[in-house]
Amino acid sequence: MNSATARLYGVITDYLRQCCRRTAATIEDISSLTNDEYVKEMKKNLALELEWNAKSLAFKIAIIYTESNIMVSNPKSESGDASFTYFELEHRMKEILSNDKKFMFLLAKVKEEFGEGCRELEEMK
């Protein structure tokens, strides 16, 4: 996070807020329950939701760091210096992410599941 660009920082903090809110709500809901089976089910649902949130985060990051999106969101300046600097910062962040093994593993999983979902929908035509 200490080398994250502003856009990446924003996406990650939104993800963390969402996960914390959901986890806190689940803890509050199960704190007064006595049915162990229901508590287990709620914990399982929370784990699935948190996994979904992580996949959604990876998908968002992958889209943010496409070259075209970096160029589109690049602030324009008359001299071009700020534009170039911004592009370089975002490109450097993209390189850092591409070398992060955990992120790349998650991204591969998202790619596989997204492809599977697309194929299944196309087959239903």
Tokens of 123: 């087959």
The pLDDT of 70-95, averaged and rounded, is 69
pLDDT in tens, 14-41: 999 999 999 999 999 998 888 999 999 9
Q: How many CB atoms lie within 10 A of CB 40?
A: 11
Residue 97 is assigned to a structural domain of this protein: yes
The answer to whether residue 39 is domain-embedded is: yes
* Structural domain of 82: 6-123
pLDDT attached to residue 80: 57
DSSP string for the chain: -TT--HHHHHHHHHHHHHHHHHHHHHHHHHTT---HHHHHHHHHHHHHHHHHHHHHHHHHHHHHTSHHHHHHTSPP-SSSHHHHHHHHHHHHHHHHHHT-HHHHHHHHHHHHHHHHHHHHHHHT-
Place of tokens 């596989």: 112
Report the pLDDT averaged over residues 93-114.
93
Residue 106 lies in a domain: yes
Would residue 16 count as lying in a domain?
A: yes
Q: Which residue has the higher pLDDT, 32 or 13?
A: 13
Q: Is residue 47 part of a domain?
A: yes
Average of pLDDT values for 45-68? 91
113 in a structural domain? yes
Total of domains in the chain: 1
Q: Does residue 1 belong to any structural domain of this protein?
A: no
* Residue 114 scores a pLDDT above 90: yes
